Amino acid sequence: MDRGRLAVLSAHLGAGEAKEDAPAAALERSAVSAASPPGALAVVDGRTGRRYEVKVSKEGTVRATDFKKITTGKDDKGLKIYDPGYLNTAPVHSSICYIDGDEGILRYRGYPIEELAESSSFVEVAYLLMYGSLPTQNQLAGWEFAISQHSAVPQGLLDIIQTMPHDAHPMGVLASAMSMLSVFHPDANPALRGQDLYKSKQVRDKQIVRVLGKAPTIAAAAYLRLAGRPPILPTNNLSYSENFLYMLDSLGDKAYVPNPRLARVLDILFILHAEHEMNCSTAAARHLASSGVDVFTALSGAVGALYGPLHGGANEAVLKMLNEIGSVDNIPDFIEGVKNRKRKMSGFGHRVYKNYDPRAKVIRKLAEEVFSIVGRDPLIEVAVALEKAALSDDYFIKRKLYPNVDFYSGLIYRAMGFPTEFFPVLFAIPRMAGWLAHWKESLDDPDTKIMRPQQVYTGVWLRQYTPVRERMPASQSEQLGQIATSNATRRRRAGNHQNLELEACVVILLTQCTLAVNLEFFFQAWRMKGHLWAEIEANLHWQLADQKYSHVLVMNYLIDCRWAMSHAGLGSSYSP
């Protein structure tokens, strides 16, 4: 075993050891008259003087519902735990991923991330996350085959992607396509096949390989749509990452083989991004899955959460920051701007890690591998110098701000030729494995219930309804603001419309209506003008016979006609 691996193992094995200089607990402690039993928390309510015992699990957790018994009287519904942002709330037990943010430790199913990145493959890691152990050679072969067999995407879905705007953001395409898979695979929908559908291991496993197989194909189709090129079908004779690059770059050449070193770099990046316990998108996936919704809809919601710039778009912000700095010479001024709160430093600091993000260390080494193939990005010099300056500055040291996974990943993606809007997609593809592992785990967890957080109500306690004609504007109430008219609407209104054209538009709108009582004022106006009355009357008789449109729809169309009427000389104020 080499020294590097020994160092990694030593760091991981020592992560749980107690520290002599550990800071004192932030909570004030006071003596309790009666000793508490082992594994229990003694709570004295200062409002009532009552003493309560709350069970503490061996993992060091308490059940939030146990605090409901702490009340001041019969009208008190008990204490609630107020935790905005879920800073210290654990809604699940999980055996998938372990993080020690203070020590900079990340493990998948007990394996240090550094070892997996060095020796494993993404497909192998996906199996580990899903089933709890690394696969045997035969298991791995069967796993790879099953994923490749489900890599094709329904032609109807590819057609839908092709009809999306040419500049549609790839994450929007991915989220939409994932939700559409539930339409193309109704056999996987508990809402259609019964709530017990996912109790079948066979059904679960099929959805897992479906998602892992189709996610790169959908992502590639979104990329090619952005480039104005038709989708490329996947091939079954390449690795997972090679197949993804093949779909992006082959241009239809079935003999094309991606650079193996770049494919390996991408595979390692996929490993590093595969799982990170209860982050925003994983929590969203588990939250949705708790309702019993199909797996594709749950994952679509997770993609939507990852689409948020605070979650999946940080590496793009790093690139923007490095471009703004521009040169190593400008770093001192930038650092001072950050300390004076005039500039924002992206790629540093993490909600969990108060040490160097272990993924960032691996990615930093990968950058040199990529640059040796495609050429060196000059921004890497700025990034390295910025990291060095920050890690030697007391301001950042005291705040425990270290480079995170996003600091160098954007540089690698850019060097490999990916547009910035595609960066979060490269995050989402591997994270499908983590989301699926949590989905699978939640189905087996006996504590899984439909997630329904509570709130602390701060609104008005009780009001009496007032009829609309008697109401006065509320001085402190928020109101609908001014909605800006689009430039296209301004352009259209600036033109010289002919009455005949407007009349034809109104006739089309009237064709959608049904209730004559709501249109009588309209008909009277048209009689006076003498325009197209016969056509309107014919449309009216047809609509009355059809009787398929609602009163609300009629009113909406009449409101839409207001502007057209005013320009046609029919008047702009009317009351149906």
Is the alpha carbon torsion for 293, 299, 300, 304 positive or negative?
Answer: positive
- Specify whether 266 is located in the same domain as 342: no
Which of 543 and 99 is assigned the larger pLDDT?
A: 99
- Specify whether 166 is located in the same domain as 117: yes
Which of 14 and 233 is assigned the larger pLDDT?
A: 233
Residue 102 is assigned to a structural domain of this protein: no
Give SS3 for 410: helix
Residue 163 is assigned to a structural domain of this protein: yes
- Specify whether 285 is located in the same domain as 343: no
Residues 6+ apart with CB under 8 A from 433: 122, 125, 126, 129, 130, 212, 274, 275
Residue of 277, 345, 271 whose CA lies nearest to 314:
345
Mean pLDDT, range 238-250, rounded to an integer: 97
Which of 16 and 392 is assigned the larger pLDDT?
A: 392
The confidence score (pLDDT) of residue 128 equals: 99
Count the helices and strands in the chain (H runs, E runs): 24, 5
Least confident of 121-130, 286-295, 414-423, 560-569: 560-569
- Specify whether 400 is located in the same domain as 546: no
For 83, the token pair is 């935790």
Residue of 284, 308, 283, 389 whose CA lies nearest to 345:
389
* Residue where a domain terminates, one of 308, 328, 354: 308
Residue 83 is assigned to a structural domain of this protein: no
pLDDT tens-place string over residues 463-504: 999 999 998 887 766 777 788 888 888 887 788 765 544 445
Mean pLDDT, range 366-378, rounded to an integer: 91
The confidence score (pLDDT) of residue 404 equals: 86
Instruction: Specify which residues 39 forms β-bridges with.
Output: none
- Read off the CATH number of the domain in which 347 is found: 1.10.230.10
Residue 480 is assigned to a structural domain of this protein: no
Residue of 202, 219, 240, 237 whose CA lies nearest to 126:
240
> Highest-confidence range of 7-16, 366-375, 549-558, by mean pLDDT?
366-375
Element (H, E) at 105: strand 105-108
pLDDT tens-place string over residues 305-333: 999 988 888 888 889 999 999 999 999 99
- Specify whether 251 is located in the same domain as 141: yes
Total domains, the chain? 3
Residue 560 has pLDDT above 70, yes or no: no
Residue 17 is assigned to a structural domain of this protein: no
Distance (Å, whole) CA 469 – CA 182: 47
- Specify whether 388 is located in the same domain as 406: yes
What's the pLDDT band for 265 if we cut at 50, 70, 90? very high
Q: Which amino acid is at 5?
A: R
The confidence score (pLDDT) of residue 56 equals: 93
- Specify whether 130 is located in the same domain as 247: yes
Mean pLDDT, range 345-353, rounded to an integer: 85
Which residues form the catalytic set? 311, 350, 406
Residue 461 is assigned to a structural domain of this protein: no
Distance (Å, whole) CA 93 – CA 264: 33
* Residue where a domain terminates, one of 390, 415, 440: 415
pLDDT tens-place string over residues 9-60: 555 545 544 443 433 333 333 444 444 566 889 999 999 999 999 999 988 9
Least confident of 87-91, 221-225, 344-348: 344-348
Residue 92 is assigned to a structural domain of this protein: no
What does the mean pLDDT of the chain come to?
84
What's the pLDDT band for 166 if we cut at 50, 70, 90? confident
Buried b (16+ CB within 10 A) or exposed e, 130-146: bbeeebeeeeeeebbeb
The confidence score (pLDDT) of residue 348 equals: 87
Distance (Å, whole) CA 433 – CA 57: 29
Distance (Å, whole) CA 110 – CA 123: 17
Q: How far is CA 115 from CA 9, 122, 132, 229, 412, in A?
A: 9, 13, 16, 38, 21
- Read off the CATH number of the domain in which 158 is found: 1.10.580.10
The confidence score (pLDDT) of residue 535 equals: 52
Q: What are phi and psi of 53, to 5 degrees?
A: -120, 125
* Residue where a domain terminates, one of 359, 393, 415: 415
Q: How far is CA 452 from CA 86, 91, 265, 287, 533, in A?
A: 14, 11, 41, 9, 57
Residue 437 has pLDDT above 80, yes or no: yes
- Specify whether 371 is located in the same domain as 295: no
Cβ-contact 30, 43 below 8 angstroms: no
Least confident of 148-162, 405-419, 484-498, 500-514: 500-514
Q: Residue 478 class from Cβ within 10 Å (0-12 exposed, 13-18 middle, 19+ buried)?
A: exposed
The confidence score (pLDDT) of residue 4 equals: 55
The confidence score (pLDDT) of residue 356 equals: 87
- Specify whether 132 is located in the same domain as 272: yes
Give SS3 for 508: helix
Cβ-contact 428, 215 below 8 angstroms: yes
The confidence score (pLDDT) of residue 522 equals: 53
- Specify whether 326 is located in the same domain as 302: no
351: containing domain: 314-415
Give SS3 for 14: coil
Least confident of 143-152, 358-367, 559-568: 559-568
Q: What are phi and psi of 55, to 5 degrees?
A: -65, 135
Residue 149 is assigned to a structural domain of this protein: yes
- Specify whether 115 is located in the same domain as 208: yes
Q: What percent of the chain has pLDDT over 90?
A: 61
Residue 458 has pLDDT above 80, yes or no: yes
